[in-house]
Amino acid sequence: MDVVAIAAALGLAFALGISDAPNATSALVASRAAGWRAAIAFSFAFHLLGALVGGTAVAMTINGIVNVNADDLSSVYAAACLAAIAFVSTAARHGIPSSATYGVVGGLAGAALAAGGWNAIRWGGFHDFRPYGMIGTLGGLVLSPVLGVCVGFAVRGVLGRALRSGTRRLLGPVRGAVWCAAGSVALSDGVNDGQKAMGLGAGVLVATGRLSAFSIPFWLRAVTALALALGTAVGGGRVIRRVGTGYFRPDSVDVLAAEASAAGVIFGAAALGAPVSTAETVTASFVGVGADRHPRHVRWVGVVHTLSAWAITVPVCAALGAALFLCARLIG
């Protein structure tokens, strides 16, 4: 089961890449700064780099959510990862933006409850603004889109006023800045998402005695980074189109504001050790930018559709995680 758990963690990294594929590629395509192939190659490179150079704060947070005995830990982690993978795969086939982060958190909750009841979850909270345990993790997931909307709204307002009289003349520099902002999103996504899978893999290695203390070996970091980057390269085009143009029709300034805002929120979360949903944060930033232009510019039906998908992710994946853990216990 230990090998299965590590393989499932790598599968989670791939699923995280698929669910977050739109975050940099859609920005470049929607702003006409790049075509699909160039955008995907660019996203691949920066996700890979972000996962390789990221720290361990998020990994330690995700590894500290459950409190089960060492014999059950591999099964709990494998069940949680597989639940998230199944949900994200199903959502991607239907072109629905999903969050593997929400999925794995829900899967961890369900599998841990099946393994040991309420005491099998470290509920936690916040300490010096740093999240820990289930409550801290969920708190970060809830706060990040709120910040995304607020920062996106504010940044779009500042950029809109600054470029009001010269948007056409500055189109080239703006599109160049979009490349920088999209690269920042891909880099921050690699940092945050890569650590989620690495944290679970490292936790298994500690529980089985292959590591004496929690750390991320280079081989684990490298293969996780590659799995995440490959996921971004094969991410569904329908999801990319929805994030790029499904909420409103952005111009280059809109895309720049949304991507820069999301990158700032995600980098901040990674520094604090908060495992946030990149897809959710980027979407929230786009909504904030659209709302700054005018609420009628936002396609609220698309927003509600996406929110509905996210709302069911945690309970569905919790049920899947519990079922998969019980199946593993019966087989084992």
Q: What is the pLDDT of residue 176?
A: 79
Q: Any idea of the CA torsion for 150, 154, 156, 161, to the nearest 10 degrees?
A: 160
- Residue 126 dihedral angles phi and psi, to the nearest 5°: -130, 145
- pLDDT tens digit sequence for 196-207: 999 999 999 998
- pLDDT tens digit sequence for 257-273: 888 999 999 999 999 99
Query: pLDDT confidence of 22, banded at 50, 70, 90?
Result: low
Q: Mean pLDDT over residues 310-319, rounded? A: 90
DSSP assignment of 98-147: --HHHHHHHHHHHHHHHHHSGGGB---EEETTEEEHHHHHHHHHHHHHHH
Q: What is the pLDDT of residue 148?
A: 92
Q: What is the pLDDT of residue 172?
A: 66
Query: pLDDT confidence of 175, banded at 50, 70, 90?
Result: confident
- pLDDT tens digit sequence for 269-299: 999 999 998 888 888 888 888 888 767 667 6
pLDDT at 246 exceeding the cut of 60: no
Q: What is the pLDDT of residue 243?
A: 52
Mean pLDDT of the residues in the chain: 85
Q: Which domain holds residue 287?
A: 2-331
What is d(CA 44, CA 265) in angstroms, rounded to the nearest whole number?
Answer: 21
In the chain, % of residues over pLDDT 70:
86
Q: Mean pLDDT over residues 316-323, rounded? A: 96
CA nearest to 16, candidates 50, 42, 41? 50
Q: Where are the alpha helices (DSSP H) in the chain?
A: 2-19, 22-30, 36-53, 57-63, 70-93, 100-116, 133-162, 171-207, 218-234, 237-245, 252-272, 278-293, 300-331
Tokens of 209: 């005695």
pLDDT at 26 exceeding the cut of 60: yes
pLDDT at 97 exceeding the cut of 80: no
Q: What is the pLDDT of residue 53?
A: 92
| Total tally of structural domains belonging to the chain | 1
pLDDT at 96 exceeding the cut of 60: yes
Handedness of CA 67, 309, 189, 143 (dihedral sign): negative
Q: Mean pLDDT over residues 218-243, rounded? A: 79
Q: Mean pLDDT over residues 34-62, rounded? A: 89
In the chain, % of residues over pLDDT 90:
48
pLDDT at 122 exceeding the cut of 90: yes
Query: pLDDT confidence of 157, banded at 50, 70, 90?
Result: confident
- Answer for the pair 253, 160: CB distance below 8 angstroms, yes or no: yes
Q: What is the pLDDT of residue 28?
A: 75
Residue entry with tokens 């698309």? 302
Q: Mean pLDDT over residues 121-130, rounded? A: 90
Q: What is the pLDDT of residue 119?
A: 92
Q: Any idea of the CA torsion for 47, 48, 53, 58, to the nearest 10 degrees?
A: 50
Q: Mean pLDDT over residues 158-162, rounded? A: 78
Tell me the three state secondary structure of residue 69.
Answer: coil
pTM exceeding the 0.85 threshold for the entire prediction: yes
